[in-house]
A = this chain, B = another copy of it.
Amino acid sequence: MSLTIAAIREKDEGERRVALVPVVAERIKRLGASVALEAGAGLTSYFPDATYKDTSIVEDEKSLVASADIVLAVNPPSPDLVQVMKPGAILISFIYGRTHPDLVKALRDKKISCFAMEQIPRISRAQAMDALSSQATLAGYYAVLLGTVHMPKILPMMTTAVGSLRAAQVLIMGLGVAGLQALATAHRLGAVTEGYDVRPETKDEAHSLGAKFVDTGVDATGQGGYARELTDAEKAKVKSVLSDHIARADLIVTTAAVPGRRAPRLIDADQIAKMKPGSVIVDMGAEGGGNCEGTKAGETLQVGPALIIGPTNLPSYLSEQASELYSKNILNLLEQIIKDGKLTLDLTDEVIAKTLVTHDGKITNDGVRAVVEGT
C-alpha cells in the first residue's frame, strides 16, 4: 500500500489559499505516494479540480482525512477533524500551538506527528521550506499596492504638460522579508523610499533597494540577534527622529508582526495626528493588535489626517501564487520525510525536530508544551 497524502479545503472565512497545487501534486506522485484532494479545495486559488491530474477528488472531508497517512492544510484545522485522522498519521499545516491549545491536545492524544509550518527553523538548509518567508514576501508586495489604491496621489514623479507632480514619500517600518519586499515594490513604482528597523544591520539591505535608511542614532542590537530593551532616553530619541519621517510620509507600511504574539507599537496617536492630510498607513501588524495606535484588524479607518488600513491575511489576496509557494514549501518538507515511497522521520534532524509540535503522544515543542500543559 502506498502512502496517501490528502489536502483539505480551507474552512476559515476569507481564506483563499490551498495547501496543494497541481504541479506539487504531480511531484508528490513521483515520491511514490497517492494524492487526494477535497473537492473544490483549489477553486479560490484558481486551480479547479480538473487541473489536478491523477488525484482522487473526494467530496467528504471526513472520509478523505480518515484514509490519509499525511494531511495537508494551510490554517490550523479544528480539533474535531483530528479525531477523524488515523492514529499515528502526519499533519502538516500552520498550527500556532500557543493560541490553539485544544488542537494541540487533540493531536497529542491521537498520537499525530504534527509539523507546524511556522516552526521551520530559519537556517539556510530549511529556506526552501520557510513558509513564513514565502508568504511574507507576497504580503509585503501586496501591502504597498493596497496602500496606493487608497492614496489621493500617485507614487512616481510625473512630468505633465501642466507641470510636474512630485514623487510620493514612502516609509517602510520593519525590514524583515515583508518590509524589504514592500521597499522594493514602492521603489519600482517610483516613490522616494525610506526604511527603518531597530536592527542597524538592515541598513545595507535598504540601500541596496534604493531606499534611505532612517538612522535614529540608537543601536538596539542585543544578545543573540534580538533587539534589547531601550532606556527611556533612547526611546525618546528614537521617537523624535521617527516622528519627523512619519510626518513627511505619504504612505507608511508597518511590518512588525511576530506570529502568535502582540505586535509592537511603532506609531502612536500623536504621530498620526501630525501626518499629512490624505496620508495612508497599511498596518501589517493588524492581526496581532496593530503596529499603530487605533488600528482595527479587518477595517479601514480615517484617523485624523491619515487613513489606517488594518488588513488581515494578506497572502490570501494573492491566493494563486501564495498557494504555489506554500505548497512547494510543503513539498520540500515531504522530500525530507519520504524516502523510496516510505515514511522515515529522522528525529535527530534539526529541521524535523524543531518543526514537530506533537509526536508519539507527546508535545515536542517546549514553548507550546509550556502554554498547553504548563510544564
From B146, B165, B332, contact of A321 by CB (8 A):
B165
A24 and B158 CA atoms in complex are apart in Å by 19
From B154, B188, B317, B328, contact of A138 by CB (8 A):
B154
A146: chain B residues at CB < 8 Å are 149
Could you say which of A125-133, A207-215, A218-226, A231-239 contacts chain B?
A125-133
A119: chain B residues at CB < 8 Å are none
B149-A137 in contact (CB<8A): no
Interface membership of A2, Cβ < 8 A = no
Interface membership of A216, Cβ < 8 A = no
B128-A162 in contact (CB<8A): yes
In the complex, chain A residues 156-170 whose Cβ is within 8 Å of any chain B Cβ: 156, 158, 160-163, 165
Residue-wise, chain A 160-190 has the 8 Å CB interface mask toward B (1 for contact) of 1111010000000000000000000100111
In the complex, chain A residues 24-67 whose Cβ is within 8 Å of any chain B Cβ: 45-48
CB distance from A328 to the nearest CB of B (A): 4
From B149, B165, B185, B329, contact of A162 by CB (8 A):
B329
A148 and B149 CA atoms in complex are apart in Å by 10
Residue among A130, A133, A165, A317 having the largest count of chain B Cβ atoms under 10 Å: A165
Interface membership of A319, Cβ < 8 A = yes
Interface membership of A278, Cβ < 8 A = yes
A230: chain B residues at CB < 8 Å are none
